Amino acid sequence: MLKRTMILLGLTITVGALLLVVGCGGHNSTMPVGSGNQTVAGPTRGDQQDQPPSSPQLQIGTTIWGYHYIGVRSVDPEGDRLQYRVVLEGPVTIVFDQTQGQGNWFTTPWGTQPVSNFASGQWGFIKFNRPPSGSYVIKAQAFDGQQWGPNRQLPLKF
The predicted-structure confidence for 108-118, as pLDDT tens digits, reads as follows: 999 999 999 99
User: Residues in the chain with pLDDT < 50?
Assistant: 6, 8-9, 11-44
For residues 87 and 138, the answer to whether their CB atoms sit within 8 Å is yes
User: What value does the CA radius of gyration of the chain take, rounded to a whole number of Å?
Assistant: 24
Convert the pLDDT of each residue in 93-129 to its tens digit: 999 999 999 999 999 999 999 999 999 999 999 999 9
Q: Which residues share a beta bridge with 152?
A: 140
pLDDT of res. 148: 97
pLDDT of res. 39: 38
For residues 110 and 63, the answer to whether their CB atoms sit within 8 Å is yes
Entry pTM: 0.68
Nearest to 52 by CA among 144, 153, 157, 156: 144
Q: Which CATH number fits domain 59-157: 2.60.40, 1.10.3470, 1.20.120, 2.40.50?
A: 2.60.40
Query: How many percent of the chain have pLDDT more than 70?
Result: 70
